[in-house]
Amino acid sequence: MLEPGRSAPAFALPDQNGQTVSLSDYRGRPLILYFYPKDSTPGCTRQALAFADAYDRFRAAGIAVVGVSRDSAASHRRFAEKNALPFPLLSDPERLAIEAYGVWQEKKSYGKVTMGVVRTTYVIDGNGTIEKAMPKVKPDSNAAELLAYFGL
């Protein structure tokens, strides 16, 4: 988990349309960068839909929203189209950003220990500095918490 006040790790990953998206693309404006485990699962779908519902308010305030998971660009495209998601979903199968942001962690489920993406959200300011780190966020309240954080 990365701490607020530190520089956000650079990334350059393909989105659901095959376009490369970099941290530097968001210079000059705040970025909500959220990491989630898997496309089309119940929690991840609820989280994405909540961000989609809040997207116009974020956009009007000049705040970008980007999701990241290990899924392929094709999986992201299907997920985004099915749910009319208006923001980029970045594909990170090699876990480059996932590991750089410290969200690849040990997880316990039904007594079984595995490694996976822990649902985490970062707010990165326009200078590329981590402003807020939100570990183990709840899919149903993450977007609302960020709306409140930004006073929207």
**Annotated catalytic sites, by residue?**
44
Query: How far is residue 26's CA from residue 82's CA, in Å, rounded to a whole number?
Result: 26
- H or E element at residue 148: helix 142-149
DSSP 27-67: TTS-EEEEE-S-TTSHHHHHHHHHHHHHHHHHHHTT-EEEE
Query: How far is residue 129's CA from residue 150's CA, in Å, rounded to a whole number?
Result: 16
